[in-house]
Amino acid sequence: MTDAQVETPVPEHLRRWHELDPAAVEPGTVGFVWGNCQAESIRRMVAPAGAEHGVEFVRLPPVFEMDEAEVGRLHELVGLAGVLVTQPVKDEYRVPGCGSEQLVALLPSDARVVRVPTTYYEGLFPWQVHAHDADGARVDAPLTDYHDLRLLHAAVQGWDVDRAVAAVEATRPDPDAVRDLAARSQAELRRRNAALDVDTTDAVVAGGAEAMWTVNHPANATLREVGTGVLATLGWAGEPAVPGHQMLGNAKAPLDAAVLDALGLDPAAARDRWVLAGREVPWAEVAGPQLALYADRPDVARRAVDRYADRLSALRC
């Protein structure tokens, strides 16, 4: 057998999905949660209640990992589903037919749909952004996946690691700019959630410094609001099954004490480093590979700095 013929082993956690045979599925007995990295956490919370109502919530890969063949299989299975819980996913977001409303259109007439948010909040992490290439594709930052405007600015200025880290650690944001960004981010979150069955804005505000681990990784307390909303929308009694560990807490971004203070939160909750898989990671360890990426792809850094120029200016003054 050649290397090209060797099949990649199916991960244990996705085996059920790969082995599920549409011909053997009784209509109405399977359910799916569709969306991004938050979707699996939502599935875990509602799966026990689903089992009590005769619906097995089958684990799926997130939309950004699905190829066209897998989406095709999902189309077959959605046609047999009893419940679809879905975040907003644009039509043709990555591959044909992957949009949330495209899946809804394939459901049986008696299937239930629950539309839930993609919780994205910048208020706690004003320097954390995504960066993109010239084609609009997201470019993940080494180590953290997320980019920091201070490091992006340092790259554009041609600074080395030591000077970049010193700038990060010395930055004191303008309190009014911090509050303005938080207010605008909350307003945008509520606007996007208005047409959905669940709104997590109040949970984000109430959660304070512990509401989010990154801009798009909610803490369990925030995710619980989604699970509660799903069960309520379906009319299922009980509480969501929230585990003791933080489902999306593998990467925790730094929390700046000055940011927390500007938002009226306790500065004692600050983190001055990334925490990755339980390990505190010094800024120099983050800055090194990220500045190397920007040196290799200066267009990525320049594009991000230009896009967020107003924010960078406001926060650094």
Contact 271, 252 (CB under 8 A): yes
Q: Which tens digit of pLDDT belongs to each residue from 219-264?
A: 999 999 999 999 999 999 999 999 999 999 999 999 999 999 999 9
Determine the Cα–Cα distance for residues 151 and 300; give it in Å rounded to an integer: 12
Q: How does pLDDT run across 78-106, given as a tens digit for each residue?
A: 999 999 999 999 998 878 999 999 999 99
The predicted structure's pLDDT at residue 8: 61
Name the residue with higher pLDDT: 257 or 8.
Answer: 257
Flag whether pLDDT at 7 surpasses 90.
no
> Which segments of the chain are extended strands (E)?
30-34, 56-57, 83-86, 112-115, 128-129, 131-132, 138-139, 147-148, 212-214, 217-218, 251-252, 274-276, 279-281
Position with higher pLDDT, 16 vs 214: 214
129 pLDDT band, cuts 50/70/90, is very high
Task: Map tokens 């406001």 to a residue.
Answer: 314
CA–CA distance, 236 with 83 (Å, rounded to integer): 12
Task: Say what the pLDDT of residue 5 is.
Answer: 45
The C-alpha R_g of the chain, in whole angstroms, comes to: 21
- SS3 label, residue 255: strand
Is 109 strand, coil or helix? coil
CA 170 to each of CA 34, 173, 256: distance values in angstroms, whole numbers, following the listed order? 41, 10, 11
Tally DSSP H helices, then E strands, for the chain. Answer: 13, 13
- What digits encode the pLDDT tens for the residues 169-216? 999 999 999 999 999 999 999 999 999 999 999 999 999 999 999 999
**pLDDT at res. 15:** 86
Least confident of 61-70, 151-160, 186-195, 230-239: 61-70
The per-residue pLDDT for 3 is: 47
Which SS3 state, helix, strand or coil, does residue 188 take? helix
219: left (phi over 0), alpha (psi -120 to 50) or beta: beta
Average pLDDT over residues 113-142: 95
pLDDT of residue 289: 98
Could you give the CA distance from residue 119 to residue 153 in angstroms, rounded to a whole number?
27
Q: Residues 264-317: pLDDT tens digits?
A: 999 999 999 999 999 999 999 999 999 999 999 999 999 999 999 999 999 974
Residue 49 has pLDDT above 60, yes or no: yes
Residue with tokens 């919780």: 119
